[in-house]
Chain A
Amino acid sequence: MGEYILAAIVEHKPGVLHKVSNMFRKRNFNIESITVGACETGDIARMTITVQGDEATVEQVVKQLQKLVDVIKVSRLEPSRSVVRELALVKVYTADSKAKSDVVNYATIFRGRIVDVSRDSMIIEITGSPTKIDAFVELVKSYGIKEFARTGVVAMSRGLKSLKVEE
């Protein structure tokens, strides 16, 4: 068992996400996370999907994705040869000044940004690999996490190699 990252270029139109997620459910594949966003041309979107499974399962996932009419291209991203990023917003309870300064310090170390401050809380925006985000959460947990939102990963292979649709 391992975690695999897939990138798919899909038609950017209503119902496509449903068709993709439906396929995962129907084939009994596990999605860890799925992100979707329009591509630069607007008529296509890119999905980044992380799945758990063994080699044979992932081979099937890729083929089943490719089989969907609305999926134009699929590629497997090698984690070691890819840039993998996720963004998280963490609202931390910071009632006393020690908590405030600790959290600001941790945020600085993790290259996070303080994007909201109120009397009793802060929102930190943090970007990086999923493990980096996990580590940050682990550190600030003791102060009390009021709210937490993460995007799921987006990823891209390093170098010139690219997943593009020829026009």
Chain B
Amino acid sequence: MKMSGSRALIESLKKEGVKVIFGIPGGAIMPVYDVLYDEKEIRHILMRHEQCAAHAADGYARAVRGPGVCMATSGPGATNLVTGIANAYMDSSPVIAITGQVATHLIGRDAFQETDIIGITTPITKYNYQVRRVEDIPRIVKEAFYIASTGRPGPVLIDVPRDMQTSVADVDFNVKIDIRGYKPNIEPHPLQVKKAVDILVSSERPIILAGGGVHWSKAYGELLTLAELLMAPVATTFMGKGVIPENHPLALGCIGMHGRIEANKSIMAADAILAVGVRFSDRSTGKVDEFCHDAKIIHIDIDPSEIRKNVPVHLPIVADAKIALKAIIDEMIHRGFKREKSEWIKRIEMLKKECEDSEPSKEITAVNAIKLLRKVLPENAIVATEVGQNQMWASLHFRVLKTGTFISSGGLGTMGFGFPASLGAKVAMPDVPVVDIAGDGSFLMTEQDLATSVVEDIPVIVMILNNSSLGMVAQWQRFFFGRRYSHTDLKGVPDFAKLAEAFGARGVRVNSLNELEQVLREAVKSDVTVVIDVPIPREEDVLPIVPPGKSLKDMIC
């Protein structure tokens, strides 16, 4: 079929099931936008910053556990995507980024708005393409989606020179792809499965450590079944938060620098660890030489390079999390193994009781606000966070009740991610309330997309835990730099309620928990975005904390 490259691109995206694109047009991508002008099947959402386009695509991807698409022009449009792409890369999110590029004959001549986005994004994408022939577009798009969403997911960028958008060619959509260098291994080795079961059934104090990989492979059911068969408590990494309902008796919450006490203590006491879909990041393990060196570690991951990257393991299983867990369950059932309540579980139960969150007091604090939020929100609500104390308070005190409903920037720790990500999630799940738990510093990094949320009718709730400072940095200054508050005071600017109103959203500053509850209850039903400014004590700390470089045993509580 004869058509332009732009048409071929859009048709290829439709064939991949794309319903939404988050983007901003510009010179080098205009021919594609011209096709989008009367496109009926794809909704294009005009963002106000390309970083937000990438984060929104990422939030969308995490909400549906599938690809999310963003689009930008060449040069500054493309470079504005970079933080969002890096963020998606660190958290293994299948973002497809499409960038315009100067025409082929201008590449390399420092043409207007030319930038080497392939060079720039090579270390932060799973793969990237520059289109060189219009005929290649259907194959490239198909490969891009395949690479982004299979194996360990990750962002893929497609750079489309302007002449490739305008040239007409005979395009065939009936393409088969076969990528010689990309064959993810999803089936576990049967012998490794048997060995894993040997370790697990002979252990006295088994624990499961589940990470983001469990989300991506949607292995929620298997995880729960196995935990119950084994009577093993489930701790998660931060990226794994919400792979198990956090009110489940076996759920321990997150380990790590700001992990829950019961999670850190339990994992350090375990004699066997089934780690699944985790990468043992320094924020999770604390001082790595002292991380569980007496326990036998079984490591399931689809990415072979994660095995022994950060910690030594006894038994690697390279496979998809869901398939591997299923195989382990089958082998245990085959052996007729089912553990009843053990000493270990009794110990865990005691520990959990000791660490139980107290009932919220009347004081308006971050922790109380978050507990209140949980009380008000329905189980299926999606919660995103910004970065800093707000994120760690959410990690510690917001109990995720439905799997896969917690979205946060783990690996890159990108301030400004939460709000655009919540917009992406809301677009994916319009019937579910979506909340961004924010800090005042973070929200101001991407707040301009309030315009998008209002104009495009994407109502979310932003709950700003306002300590008028770059709180997490200030906390470190308090703890580790002798209270020298170097450049962390935000001086109470802006007035967030007025800011929200200026965008046509609803903005409220609350002065008590009662008021907060009332506003939250209204916000859940609101058909416009609501920004709630919650003043919290300036020096409220996130506790516990494992000081950087210390073992998980050295928690300050």
Contacts and interface: CB of A to CB of B under 8 A. Distances in A.
A64 B182 contact: no
A10 B309 contact: no
Given A10-B181, A11-B181, A18-B119, A63 B305 contact: yes
Interface in A33-90: 56, 59-60, 63-64, 66-72
A108 interface: no
A30 to B, nearest CB: 17
Contacts of B309: 60
B127 interface: yes
Given A72-B180, A72-B181, A60 B119 contact: no
Contacts of B303: 67
A83 to B, nearest CB: 26
Contacts of B308: 56, 59-60
A59 B122 CA distance: 22
B181 A71 contact: yes
A145 B29 CA distance: 54
Contacts of A15: 118, 130
Interface residues of B, number: 18
A70 B181 contact: yes
Interface string B286-318: 000000000000000001110111000000000
Given A59-B308, A67-B303, A67-B305, A26 B123 contact: yes
A69 B179 contact: yes
Contacts of A23: 123
Nearest to B304: A63
A19 interface: yes
A63 B147 CA distance: 17
Nearest to B309: A60
B126 interface: yes
A67 B127 contact: no
Contacts of B307: 63
Nearest to A44: B180
Contact of A165 (B118, B126, B130, B180): B180
Interface string A145-167: 00000000000000000000100
Contacts, number: 38
A89 to B, nearest CB: 31
A22 interface: yes
Interface string A6-32: 000011000100110011001000000
Interface residues of A, number: 21
Contacts of A165: 180
Contacts of A66: 304-305
B304 A11 contact: no
Interface in B99-136: 118-119, 122-123, 126-127, 130
Contact of B305 (A18, A26, A64, A70): A64
Nearest to B184: A67
B186 to A, nearest CB: 15
A165 B180 CA distance: 9
A15 B159 CA distance: 13
A68 B181 contact: yes
Interface in A94-135: none
Nearest to A63: B305
Interface string B146-176: 0100000000000000000000000000000
Contact of B122 (A11, A19, A56, A71): A19
B122 A69 contact: no
A10 to B, nearest CB: 7
Contacts of B182: 69
B119 A69 contact: no
B147 A69 contact: yes
A69 B123 contact: no
A56 B307 CA distance: 11
Given A11-B181, A15-B118, A69 B305 contact: no
A38 B546 CA distance: 52
A67 B180 contact: no
A71 B122 CA distance: 14
B511 to A, nearest CB: 49
Contacts of A56: 308
Given A59-B308, A60-B309, A69 B118 contact: no
Nearest to A23: B123
Nearest to A43: B180
A22 B181 contact: no
Most buried by A among B180, B182, B303, B304: B180
B487 to A, nearest CB: 30
Contacts of A26: 123
Given A66-B304, A69-B127, A18 B181 contact: no
Interface of A: 10-11, 15, 18-19, 22-23, 26, 56, 59-60, 63-64, 66-72, 165
Given A22-B122, A67-B304, 18 more contacts: A10-B181, A11-B181, A15-B118, A15-B130, A18-B122, A22-B123, A23-B123, A26-B123, A60-B309, A63-B304, A63-B305, A67-B303, A68-B181, A69-B147, A69-B179, A69-B181, A70-B181, A72-B181
23 contacts: A11-B181, A15-B118, A15-B130, A18-B119, A18-B122, A22-B122, A22-B123, A60-B305, A60-B308, A63-B304, A63-B305, A63-B307, A66-B304, A66-B305, A67-B303, A67-B304, A67-B305, A68-B181, A69-B126, A69-B147, A69-B179, A69-B182, A165-B180
Interface of B: 118-119, 122-123, 126-127, 130, 147, 179-182, 303-305, 307-309
Sorted nearest first, the 7 A-B pairs with minimum C-beta distance are A63-B305, A72-B181, A69-B127, A26-B123, A72-B180, A69-B182, A22-B122
